[in-house]
Amino acid sequence: MKIGIFTDTYNPVVSGVVTSINMLELEMKKRGHEVYVFAPSKSIKPKENQELFMVKSMPLIVARQYKNRVAAFYSRDIAKKIKELNLDIVHTQSEFGLGHFGKIISRKFDIPFIHTYHTMWEDYVHYILPIKSTRKIYSKRLVRRFSKTFLRKAECVIVPSKKTEKYLKYRCKVKNKPIYVIPTGIDIVPFNKSNFTNEDKIKLKESLGISKDDKVILFLGRVAEEKSIDVIMNNMPAVFKQLPNTKFLIVGTGPSIDDLKEQAKKLGIKDKVIFSGKIPWNDVPKYYNIGDVFVNASLTETQGLTFIEAMAAETPIVAKYAPNLSEFISNNKNGIFVRKDSDFAKAIINVLTNEKLSNKLATNGLETAKQYSVEEFADKLEMLYSEIIKNYKLRKTFTTKQEKQKEKKNLYKTITEKLLKLTRLKK
């Protein structure tokens, strides 16, 4: 198959969306498929055997710290190249410039178009429209309407979790459109504890100003308002009081760093809170492996890849309860859920002082991470691509609307059954 991936977010940006795209691109190439990525200019230059086409773009002012860019929704030169490529399927990964370019290419060259809905944008309105909460209601409605309109012509929609599926169905009112839940897989091998010696861990700790005997409470991800790191911070004085040889390590970058530093100062714990700043992707597994507990209070995750990564590193998890997280986290089995913000301190202390509990969470977490393999992710996408392409060509032979609608229903049933089978085979 010749697969065209259209994305407004790509390397060197670090995010769950980019991780998902990288995994998809790599796995499909391993299977002998041709993958062409269409991304904004200033993306990382193509690696060997990588087909990357960059569309003119400009920095996205409201997300400058993430190196996000806004791409033009059309390029005549690249459209000509796409015509020569003879793509079998267009897979858009965002709803903006490159997403619309993918839709245009789909219509122009009569190629089936599918979409992965990664982000519930109404949770991020505060970046784009810094307005009063009463007016944000209308902004969120506009975002939902925008999402619904974008998806109207897609053959199907892929989402990473049931939470996102429900959001599209019941909040955005996306009706009569197949929505398939396919969680992004990860390569768990780089996170394996056996990859790192005690000396490796001690050296990393020392470089961060952490004693080799200190316990590490770890947050890793985008340092932004929607991650609710301030909730964790408010619990730290109680943790440090009971466990003085403990540090809170915040790994990542984002717009909330200065606010969190000021918060730590006001709480009188600035010497125990460490900000690593941005780190290379290849170093991420090592940071998980120096963590004694991974913490996250965010309620805006669509899948929560960082939780799976922590599990792969056998780092116990303490998280704020959210329905989508309960799809893979079982309280007191492979993670700890807290219902109230003030309960974080108690839960963190429990994990750090109860070795039996910590070991159980780590062991069960690793087993959970194994279920989210990149192989299963690729198996499902490969099957879906194949079925969509075959059905799209078949419908071209029909003359009546009724025949086409019937075939679409058959397609939905076929894909649903095959996705279930692939999931059962792996688990």
Is residue 11 predicted with pLDDT exceeding 90? no
Of the candidates 254, 115, 274, the one whose C-alpha atom is nearest the C-alpha of residue 205 is 274
**At what angle are helices 97-109 and 76-85 packed, to 10 degrees?**
50
Is residue 63 predicted with pLDDT exceeding 70? no
Q: Give the Cα separation of 311 and 365 in Å (integer).
A: 5
Of the candidates 304, 281, 279, 285, the one whose C-alpha atom is nearest the C-alpha of residue 190 is 285
Which alpha helices (H) appear in 267-304, and where do they start and end?
284-289
User: What was the pLDDT predicted at 427?
Assistant: 45
Is residue 263 predicted with pLDDT exceeding 80? yes
Residue ranges of the domains in the chain?
Answer: 2-185, 189-370
Establish whether domains 2-185 and 189-370 are of one fold.
yes
Of the options 3.40.50.2000, 3.30.465.10, 3.30.300.90, 3.40.50.150, the CATH number for the domain spanning 189-370: 3.40.50.2000
Q: Give the Cα separation of 14 and 426 in Å (integer).
A: 28
User: What was the pLDDT predicted at 401?
Assistant: 86
- The answer to whether the predicted template modeling score (pTM) of the entire model surpasses 0.85 is no
- Segment among 46-60, 141-155, 274-288, 307-321 with least mean pLDDT: 46-60
CATH of segment(s) 2-185 = 3.40.50.2000
**97 CB contacts (<8 Å, ≥6 apart)?**
8, 40, 55, 57, 70, 71, 72, 73
pLDDT in tens, 401-421: 888 889 989 999 999 999 999
User: What was the pLDDT predicted at 303?
Assistant: 73
**130 CB contacts (<8 Å, ≥6 apart)?**
none
User: What was the pLDDT predicted at 128?
Assistant: 54
In whole numbers, what is the pLDDT of the chain averaged over residues? Answer: 90
Confidence tier at 52 by pLDDT (50, 70, 90) = very high
Mean pLDDT of 136-147: 79
